[in-house]
């Protein structure tokens, strides 16, 4: 499978991956998210994404929601700290219907005032629901600690106080400042011919006026390790241990992905799962996460445990980090780690929707799309000493931060 890439005159890039499937996927990735917000705009990128579904010049909210549902398809969207994405999945016969709808809601939304007021209440309820889930809340709280006053430290949803202040002018102003056509990727996957996909893209997207400006990211100067305990009244104690990490352009990021997978990735044989859950029975949920952003990244280990096991669990976690700092992986260990992560990547390529979105983000961030073989070749080239160096940089005891919910 080889992706086909085309660039419209207005700067919007098109990437299509031919796959033999009855289902077609498509999406528009916009290189603007919550990290582009000013402090008074906290939550505005996510709010804007919600408002895409609330009415256009030719459709009301009901007609937007029904357009793909009526033919068994799905329309969805999400906001990250650096992207806003609207995507759809339909039978191939209805592919144009999906393309036209995405174009309509992103570029022709009218943001009706009465819908804005209703959506404020919806999102405030979403915030309340999120605050009731400590295992989710703690991740954003942790990023707020390590990123301090940087825009990446603010959660994506915003606060009830900032949400209540949004107006139509807030939304249109955010779009005007941040939605550059040069940072838009239309991606698709399906059995459609690339030439036909490009024709549809031109039909619906080429008339969009070019808007091009340099993306400015707030620099991040780093942080020192801190320990914070919050009394949340939870049944379990929840804990996150972590540090800032490599940005998405750093050559060490692949090694960091591997270290993350060794420690607490999706495999049941991860070191933390074996030591905390299988050996000691201290935790049910254990995971480690590495999120690279454009200016920095964050690495974190999360677990929930009984209050009587908290200190022991923290000690075990630090012991596993120390092992990776002090002991280089042997030949067999390194080979297993590489084979595991390559297997996960290969399985991910079988999910055409995720693969399409991954290709789009790669084109947006790096300006190119690497094949699975190229990525696997890079993984194979990682040396044990590189992992040891990365472990000593990121797992530095003096830089590690800890957040505990009790």
Q: Domain for residue 219, yes or no?
A: no
Catalytic residue among 37, 38, 41, 49: 49
List beta partners, residue 289. 300
Could you write out the DSSP letters of every residue in 142-173?
HHHHHSTTSGGGS-SS--HHHHHT--HHHHHH
Do 363 and 260 share a structural domain?
Answer: yes
Where among 205, 238, 261 does a domain terminate?
205
Q: Domain for residue 216, yes or no?
A: no
Cα of 10 vs its chain's centroid, Å: 26
Lookup: tokens for 153: 């430290």
For the chain, the domain total comes to 2
Mean pLDDT of 376-400: 96
Lookup: tokens for 112: 């009706």
Lookup: tokens for 404: 């505990």
List beta partners, residue 86. 28, 77
Active site residue 193: no
Largest distance between two CA atoms of the chain:
63
Do 97 and 22 share a structural domain?
Answer: yes
Q: Residue 159 and residue 136: Cα distance in Å, rounded?
A: 16
Mean pLDDT of 289-297: 95
List beta partners, residue 298. 244, 291
Mean pLDDT of 23-51: 97
Task: Write the CB contacts of 358 (distance below 8 Å, at least 6 apart in sequence).
Answer: 348
Percent of the chain with pLDDT over 70: 99
Range of the domain at 334: 227-405
Do 192 and 232 share a structural domain?
Answer: no
Q: Domain for residue 330, yes or no?
A: yes
Do 266 and 149 share a structural domain?
Answer: no
- DSSP letter for 212, please: -
- What's this model's pTM, rounded to 2 decimal places? 0.94
pLDDT score, position 220: 77
Where among 174, 205, 236 does a domain terminate?
205
Do β-strands 23-30 and 184-190 pair in parallel, antiparallel, or remain unpaired? antiparallel
**pLDDT of 216 strictly over 90:** no
Q: Domain for residue 161, yes or no?
A: yes
C-beta separation of 328 from 385 below 8 A: yes
**pLDDT tens, position by position, 185-212:** 999 999 999 999 999 999 999 999 999 8
Q: Residue 151 and residue 159: Cα distance in Å, rounded?
A: 14
Percent of the chain with pLDDT over 90: 92
Confidence of residue 222 (pLDDT cuts 50, 70, 90): confident
| Sign, Cα dihedral of 208, 211, 212, 217 | negative
Q: Chain-wide mean pLDDT for the chain?
A: 95
Mean pLDDT of 270-277: 95
Do 184 and 35 share a structural domain?
Answer: yes
**pLDDT of 62 strictly over 90:** yes
Do 270 and 125 share a structural domain?
Answer: no
- 216 or 176, greater pLDDT: 176
Do 255 and 134 share a structural domain?
Answer: no
Q: Domain for residue 29, yes or no?
A: yes
95, 22, 21: which is closest to 350 by C-alpha? 21
pLDDT score, position 194: 96
- Domain CATH number, residue 281: 3.30.830.10
Within 13 Å of residue 140, how many CA atoms lie on the same side as its CB? Answer: 17
**pLDDT tens, position by position, 72-91:** 999 999 999 999 999 999 99
Do 158 and 239 share a structural domain?
Answer: no
**pLDDT tens, position by position, 363-375:** 999 999 999 999 9
Do 176 and 72 share a structural domain?
Answer: yes
Q: Domain for residue 356, yes or no?
A: yes
Task: Write the CB contacts of 85 (distance below 8 Å, at least 6 apart in sequence).
Answer: 27, 28, 29, 30, 77, 78, 79, 357
pLDDT score, position 385: 97
Confidence of residue 267 (pLDDT cuts 50, 70, 90): confident
Confidence of residue 215 (pLDDT cuts 50, 70, 90): low
Q: Domain for residue 220, yes or no?
A: no
């Amino acid at each position: 499978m080889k992706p086909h890439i085309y660039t419209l005159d207005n700067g919007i890039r098109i990437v299509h991956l031919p796959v033999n499937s009855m289902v077609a996927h498509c999406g528009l990735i916009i290189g603007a998210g919550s990290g582009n917000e000013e402090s008074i705009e906290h939550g505005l990128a996510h709010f804007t994404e919600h408002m895409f579904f609330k009415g256009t010049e030719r459709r009301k909210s009901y007609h937007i929601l029904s357009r793909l549902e009526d033919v068994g398809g799905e329309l969805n969207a999400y906001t990250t700290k650096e992207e806003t994405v609207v995507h759809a999945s339909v039978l191939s016969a209805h592919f144009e219907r999906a393309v036209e709808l995405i174009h309509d809601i992103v570029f022709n939304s009218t943001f009706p005032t009465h819908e804005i007021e209703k959506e404020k209440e919806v999102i405030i309820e979403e915030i309340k629901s999120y605050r009731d889930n400590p295992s989710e809340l703690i991740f954003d709280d942790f990023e707020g600690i390590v990123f301090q006053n940087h825009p990446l430290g603010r959660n994506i949803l915003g606060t009830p106080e900032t949400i209540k202040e949004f107006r139509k002018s807030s939304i249109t102003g955010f779009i005007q400042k941040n939605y550059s056509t040069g940072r838009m990727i239309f991606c698709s996957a399906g059995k459609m011919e690339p030439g036909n996909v490009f024709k549809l893209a031109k039909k619906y997207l080429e008339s969009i006026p070019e808007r091009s400006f340099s993306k400015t990211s707030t620099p991040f100067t780093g942080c020192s390790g801190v320990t914070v305990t919050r009394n949340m009244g939870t049944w379990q104690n929840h804990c996150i241990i972590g540090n800032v990490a490599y940005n998405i352009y750093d050559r060490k990021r692949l090694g960091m992905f591997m270290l993350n997978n060794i420690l607490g990735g999706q495999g049941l044989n991860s070191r933390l799962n074996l030591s905390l859950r299988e050996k000691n029975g201290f935790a049910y949920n254990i995971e480690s996460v590495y999120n690279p952003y454009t200016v920095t990244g964050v690495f974190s280990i999360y677990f929930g445990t009984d209050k009587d096991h908290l200190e022991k669990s923290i000690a075990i976690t630090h012991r596993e980090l120390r092992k990776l700092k002090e002991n280089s992986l042997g030949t067999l260990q390194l080979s297993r780690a590489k084979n595991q992560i390559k297997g996960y990547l290969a399985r991910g390529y079988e999910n055409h929707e995720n693969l399409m979105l991954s290709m789009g983000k790669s084109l947006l961030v790096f300006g190119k799309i690497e094949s699975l073989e190229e990525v696997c070749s890079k993984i194979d080239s990682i040396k044990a000493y590189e992992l040891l160096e990365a472990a000593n940089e990121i797992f530095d005891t003096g830089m590690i931060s800890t957040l505990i919910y009790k």
